[in-house]
Amino acid sequence: MSYQVLARKWRPRTFSEMVGQEHVLRPLTNALDNDRLHHAFLFTGTRGVGKTTIARILAKSLNCEQGVGSAPCGQCNACQEINTGRFVDLIEVDAASRTKVENTRELLENIQYAPVRGRYKVYLIDEVHMLSAHSFNALLKTLEEPPPHVKFLLATTDPQKLPVTVLSRCLQFNLRRLLPDQICNHLEQILSRENIPFEQAALVQIAHVADGSMRDALSLLDQAIAYGGGELRENDVRTMLGSIEQTHVFELLEALGAADGMALLQAVEKLARSAPDFSAALAELISVLHQIALVQTVPRAVDEMPVEQERYLNLATTLASEDVQLFYQIALLGRRDLELAPEPRSGFEMIMLRMLAFRPGSNNGGAGSSTTAATPAASEKPETKQVAAEPLPASSAGTAKDEQWAETVGHLKLKGMARQLALNCIWKQEQDGTLNLVLTPPHKHLLNDRHRQRLEEALREHYGKSLKLAIECTPDEGESPMAIQQRLQQERQKMAEQAIKYDSNIQNMIDVFDAQIQVDSISPAD
């Protein structure tokens, strides 16, 4: 016997074999068992969710020789002929190939005649939205008042294209996309019955790519079994699907969590070696961020994840929830804009760097080294001397008071917007167990009860004593920790520029090649 594809071999023959769609099966079962049958049914939903399968089971339930009911016997001639597509009173029509009104009129010519073999003559019209307007007009009267021995079963992936007059004449059932867990469990049962070795992670991959369609999942399963030589292995499935290894995604997020720009670029380089689809890489990143957000909200959700539970838990702990939401939004918008980038990898790198740059409380990764690019036409030769590119000592920056507060903020266990609030506050005084801070008006949007409370709790933990926090929005001559950071960064940038400018090797290049320093290409090294 020739090989039969899994999608046909394991097609459900009864309602009890269906996966999901309980909201559709329940009313159909009750209608069949209680003999309350409508004359026209419309099944809608995306491809591969069971529209035609349910319609065929319904046709079998109507014509089973054992009687009308929700559990056809499957053994009688009518059931077996419907299973094999040979039942003369089940007329299946592909509307996509019979769109003309002449085809519809031809179909309806014999509708008044009684069934040849069965109890009902069943018209199953697939992709019914493809019929022309004239075809719908020809169908309307018969669809509203068909002979008692006729049932219409309509199926479509695009119900919006159906005339309201058709919709009003049918009982409509909307089939949902299947959940990945439902697909995964069904594939596992099939493989067990087929005695095919498999890895659970491989099924997860197929269920994810199937996007709610059981038929797509079974087709992919057939392909994966052939690719793996009769076995189903995660690495084989990833290679076949061109999927991104989650390890790469975890490395990207771990680098972002550590605000390590160098590690981030190295992770992108490692990802690029596998020649990925960078849009798919962003989709995988979005999926992982979604899982992390779930774990942060409901920690026990990690127990339901089939793989990499420990890594999900670590990221959920180290990443602030605000960061996860920010990364998710940037990745979502970046995927839309990726095709506008001149080259996919550079576009992907910019999306990652955007996450690093806009991460609250980060110093943009702190990565980089003193660099220069030389071009012709230097106008002057500077004096030759060596200057060290190091930040000024902390004691020379601002008063003792502002720097001490900046040092305290640096030790606080804060993330996200609460940390931004602390960084932009200026120490005023401590009086009677109350810390008084000043927030300048340009930053008043950072102040709310939630952020103030988180800062107050962090200060209590830091000082090891009970205290209250009072923050007022008013101009102040002091220097906030953020202002100190920015000032020190500017000083470090200036010293880095001087170090390049007066470097002896750079001097030689300027002398020999008449080069010019591009100042905007210089950044201080850590």
Predicted confidence (pLDDT) per residue in 14-32, tens digit: 999 999 899 999 999 999 9
The pLDDT value given to residue 368: 39
List of residues 6+ apart from 408 with CB closer than 8 A: 459, 462
Contacts of range 375-378, beta carbons closer than 8 Å, 24 or more positions apart: 375/515, 375/516, 375/518, 376/513, 376/514, 376/515, 376/516, 377/514, 377/516, 378/510, 378/514, 378/515, 378/516, 378/517
CA pair distance 134, 413, nearest whole angstrom: 70
Q: Tokens 């209590």 belong to which residue?
A: 460
- DSSP strand pairing (434-439 vs 468-473): parallel
Domain hosting residue 215, numbered range:
180-241
What is the reported pTM? 0.58
CATH code for position 463: 3.30.300.150
Same-domain check for residues 165 and 20: yes
| Predicted local distance difference test score (pLDDT) of residue 395 | 36
Cβ pair 374, 510 in contact under 8 A = yes
Does residue 487 form part of some domain? no
Q: Which residues of 326-358 are buried (b: 16+ CB within 10 A; e: fewer)?
A: bbbebbeebbeebeebeebeebbbebbbbbbee
Could you tell me the two tokens for 66?
């054992």
Tens digit of pLDDT at every position of the chain (526 positions): 578 889 889 999 999 999 989 999 999 999 999 989 999 999 999 999 999 999 999 999 999 999 999 999 989 999 999 998 899 999 998 888 877 788 888 888 888 889 998 899 999 999 999 988 888 888 888 888 889 999 999 999 999 999 999 999 999 999 999 998 899 999 999 999 999 999 988 898 899 888 889 999 999 999 999 988 989 998 888 878 766 777 888 899 999 988 888 899 999 998 888 777 888 889 889 988 998 898 888 877 776 665 667 788 888 888 888 889 999 999 999 988 888 888 999 999 999 999 988 876 554 444 333 333 333 333 333 343 333 333 322 333 446 788 888 888 988 888 878 888 899 999 888 888 899 999 988 888 888 888 889 999 999 888 888 889 999 988 877 888 888 888 888 888 888 888 888 877 788 778 777 788 887 778 776 5
**232 and 259 in a common domain:** no
Say whether both 47 and 149 belong to one domain: yes
| Domain limit, last residue, from 344, 366, 388 | 366
In a domain, 502, yes or no: no
Q: Are residues 254 and 165 in the same domain?
A: no
User: Does residue 235 lie in a domain region?
Assistant: yes
pLDDT in the model for residue 305: 66
* DSSP alpha helix (H) spans, 34-179: 51-63, 77-83, 101-108, 133-144, 164-167
Per-residue confidence (pLDDT) for residue 392, from 0 to 100? 27
Specify if 205 maps to a domain: yes
Co-location of 234 and 160 in the same domain:
no
Residue 243: what pLDDT?
67
Which backbone phi and psi does 3 adopt, to 5 degrees? -70, 135
Contact status, residue 397 vs residue 407, Cβ threshold 8 Å: no
In this structure, the answer to whether residues 150 and 23 fall within a common structural domain is yes
Whether 127 and 22 map to the same domain: the answer is: yes
Judgement on whether residues 321 and 440 belong to the same structural domain of the protein: no
C-alpha 490/C-alpha 497 separation (Å) is 11
The pLDDT of residue 306? 58
In this predicted structure, what is the pLDDT of residue 479? 86
Nearest Cα to Cα of residue 24 among 8, 47, 42, 46: 42
What is the structure's pLDDT at 381? 38
CATH code: domain of residue 140: 3.40.50.300
Q: 419 and 320, same structural domain?
A: no
Look at residues 221, 241, 261 and tell me which one is the last residue of a structural domain.
Answer: 241
C-alpha 356/C-alpha 364 separation (Å) is: 6
Question: Does residue 501 fall inside a structural domain?
Answer: no
Residue 392 resides in a domain: no
Last residue of a domain, one of 140, 174, 208: 174
Q: How many CB atoms lie within 10 A of CB 479?
A: 20
Co-location of 38 and 124 in the same domain? yes
Domain presence at residue 251: yes
Q: Verify that 144 and 16 share a domain, yes or no.
A: yes
DSSP 391: P
Tokens of 474: 């008013």
Structurally, the chain folds into a number of domains equal to 4
What CATH number should be reported for the domain holding residue 297? 1.20.272.10
Residue 508's DSSP bridge partners are none
**Is residue 211 domain-shared with residue 301, that is, in the same domain?**
no
pLDDT of residue 416: 79
**Is residue 289 situated within a structural domain?**
yes
What CATH number did the domain enclosing 202 receive?
1.10.8.60
